[in-house]
Amino acid sequence: MADLILTGAAIFDGATRRTGQALVIGNGTVTAILPEDEAPAGPRQALPGGTLAPGLIDLQVNGGGGVMLDGAAPDQIATICAAHAALGTTGLLPTLITDTPAATEAVIAAGIAATGRVPGFLGLHLEGPHLDPARPGCHPPGLIRPMNDDDLARYLRAAAALPALMITLAPASARPDQIAALAQAGVVVCLGHAECTYAEAAAALNAGARGVTHLFNAMSQIGGREPGLVGAALTLPFAAGLIADGIHVHPANLRLALAARPEGLFLVTDAMAVAGTDMTEFPLAGRRILRRDGALRLENGTLAGADLSLPQAIRFLISELGLAPDRALAMATSRPAALIGAPAGRIAPGLPADLVHFDADWHLTGIWRNGVAVQAN
């Protein structure tokens, strides 16, 4: 007898949607996807149409629930993961932006302690400090620096102890041999905050870099004779994260990227402390971040992360850009999970029953983690 049987919605399994099917859950895992009239006995919940999808996966989450990840408190990771679960993101990489070596060590230690203990924790993303001083964005410029031997050793130790480790760096601050060592250790190396040439991006790719962080933002743009990092991301086999809020990337550029890379893009939120709260501002490295008109900005107007959830990004792609729903959903489920090698982002027998339900207009209406309903925010 099943613990719960969900019916009435199309089921997106991470690749395609199927109709007329029932999702059977037992002991917190998916046990079967069957025609509705073949489902076993058990409690049933009839969903009002719409689409049932895997729990959403976000590889760039700086904060949530009122806190930023900075290693100052042991429960930051749990707070961030819980806040985003209520927004539909059941798996994520808490992300540390450019900070000191001591803060990085503290965050790595917190991540190791959270492994296997904090629901939704899939690993860490270290965005900096090895960025390009020419493209700091909202990162503290005084803390941006080249990677040294101690840094590399720290990251190799972390990669051996964490379920996944993603590092965003710039060719200006990391050598190809350092990138190769990280990649060989299983680190997902991404290029970002970089004023690099196409050739430098290609050299990093050849060394083992696999991704590009928040495409179009804080990086060299396409020029007539120099394609820059954007051109590299659109023509080379990088996986690239997109912030699809209509603010960070103009809709025309989103369409360009989606046309150029049918398989290589995934969604991120770049969420900050305000996610899941009604906060209107918060401090970041001694500076005020203001929450206004759907965006987060420094007082000088520089974008500082995003005021965005993955369901909002999915709805923007489908409703505003006309993207096929299966593709938009994959960009927030199976694609990011595959990039970090996580057993998530899909609905299949034997996998945890981490699920979200969207109505016909792509608004989030239900969340389950391990088969148990989560109160949506």
Is 56-340 the same fold as 4-53+346-373? no
What does each C-alpha distance from 249 to 303, 313, 360 come to in angstroms?
11, 12, 26
In the CATH scheme, what is the code of domain 4-53+346-373?
2.30.40.10
Residue pLDDT, tens place only, 77-101: 999 999 999 999 999 999 999 999 9
Residue 319 gets which letter from DSSP?
Answer: I
Whole-number Å distance between alpha carbons of 306 and 373: 27
Stretch 26-34: mean pLDDT: 95
Query: For position 1, what pLDDT does the model report?
Result: 59
Whole-number Å distance between alpha carbons of 181 and 197: 22
Residue spans of the domains in the chain: they are 4-53+346-373, 56-340
Pairing state between β 165-169 and 188-191? parallel
Residue 287 pLDDT greater than 90, yes or no: no
Residue 217: closest CA among 237, 258, 236, 245: 245
pTM (predicted TM-score): 0.96
Residue pLDDT, tens place only, 252-284: 999 999 999 999 999 999 999 999 999 999 888
Residue 43 pLDDT greater than 70, yes or no: yes
Architecture label for domain 56-340: Alpha-Beta Barrel (3.20)
Active site residues: 270
Stretch 338-367: mean pLDDT: 97
Does residue 60 contact residue 270 with C-beta atoms inside 8 Å? Answer: yes
Residue 2 pLDDT greater than 90, yes or no: no
* Dihedral angle of Cα 212, 217, 223, 229, to the nearest 10 degrees: -20
Residue 322 pLDDT greater than 90, yes or no: yes
Does residue 103 contact residue 325 with C-beta atoms inside 8 Å? Answer: no
Whole-number Å distance between alpha carbons of 86 and 94: 15
Range 276-284, long-range pairs (CB < 8 A, 24+ positions): 276/64, 276/65, 276/83, 276/84, 276/86, 276/87, 276/377, 277/64, 277/65, 277/66, 277/83, 279/66, 282/66, 282/68, 284/68, 284/138
Q: Which two tokens stand for residue 80?
A: 């961030």
